[in-house]
Amino acid sequence: MSTAELDTINPADALRMLRTMRVARQMSQRIAKLYPTDVMETPVHLCIGQEAVSAGLCCHLTDADQMLLGHRTHAPALAKGLPLRKLMAELYGRTTGCSHARGGSMHVFDPEHGLPGSSAIVGGSIAVGVGAALSSKLSGSDFISVSYFGDAATNAGVFHESMNFAALKQLPVLFLCENNGLSNVMPVAEHAAYEIAGVASQFMPVFRADGTDALSVYREAGKAVRQVRETRAPVFLECTTKRWMKHQGHERDDLEINPIDPVTDCPIARLERFMIGASLITPREILALAKEIEAEIDDAIEFAERSPYPQPEFVEA
Partner 1 sequence: MPWSRFDSNYRAPAGERDLAFVDAIREATDQAMCLDPRVFAMGLDADDKFGVFGSMRDMTHPERILGTPISENANTGVALGAALTGMRPILINLRNDFLLVAMDQIVNYVAKWQSMFDGQCAVPLVMRSVIGRGWGCGAQHSQSLQGLFAQIPGLKVVMPATPYDAKGLLLSAIKDDSPVMMFEHRWLYKNTGPVPEEMYTIPLGQGQRLHEGSSLTVVATSLAAIHTLTACEQRGLDVDLIDPRTIKPLDMDLILDSVSKTGRLLVVDYDFPFGGVAAEITSRVCEQAFDRLREPPQRIGFPEANMPASGPLERAYYPTPDTIGERIERWIGVEVCA
Strands (DSSP E) found in 151-278: 173-179, 182-183, 186-187, 206-210, 235-240
User: Smallest distance from the beta carbon of 277 to partner 1, in angstroms?
Assistant: 42
Site for partner 1 contains 152 (CB under 8 A): no
- Cα atoms in the 13 Å half-sphere on the side-chain side of 94: 20
Site for partner 1 contains 133 (CB under 8 A): yes
Site for partner 1 contains 158 (CB under 8 A): yes
Q: H helices within 35-105, ranges in order? A: 51-58, 74-80, 84-91
Cβ neighbours of residue 66 closer than 8 Å, sequence gap 6 or more: 114, 115, 116, 129, 132, 133, 136, 143, 144, 145, 146
Q: Which is nearer to partner 1, 25 or 107 (CB)?
A: 107
Site for partner 1 contains 228 (CB under 8 A): no
Site for partner 1 contains 124 (CB under 8 A): yes
Q: How far is C-alpha 248 from the chain's CA centre?
A: 16
Site for partner 1 contains 136 (CB under 8 A): yes
Site for partner 1 contains 83 (CB under 8 A): no
Among 77, 84, 88, 132, binds partner 1 (CB under 8 A): 132
CB-count burial class (<10 Å; 0-12, 13-18, 19+) for 190:
exposed
* Residues 43-72, mask of contacts with partner 1 (x by CB under 8 A): -----------------------x-x----
Nearest CA among 297, 274, 302 for reference residue 286: 274
Among 125, 180, 216, 241, binds partner 1 (CB under 8 A): 125
Among 36, 111, 277, 308, binds partner 1 (CB under 8 A): 111
Q: H helices within 63-123, ranges in order? A: 74-80, 84-91
* Residues 166-195, mask of contacts with partner 1 (x by CB under 8 A): --xx--------------------------
Q: What is the rounded distance in angstroms from the CA atom of residue 293 to the CA atom of residue 296?
A: 5
User: Smallest distance from the beta carbon of 102 to partner 1, in angstroms?
Assistant: 5
Question: How many residues touch partner 1 (CB under 8 A)?
Answer: 39
Q: Work out the widest C-alpha separation in the chain, in whole angstroms.
A: 60
Measured from the Cβ of residue 316, the count of other Cβ atoms closer than 10 Å reads 5
Of 37-45, 155-163, 240-248, 289-297, the window that binds partner 1 (rule: CB under 8 A) is: 155-163
Site for partner 1 contains 229 (CB under 8 A): no
Among 25, 80, 107, 219, binds partner 1 (CB under 8 A): 107
Applying CB under 8 A, the residues found at the interface with partner 1 are 66, 68, 99-103, 107, 109, 111, 116-117, 119, 121, 124-136, 138-139, 145, 157-158, 161-162, 164-165, 168-169, 317
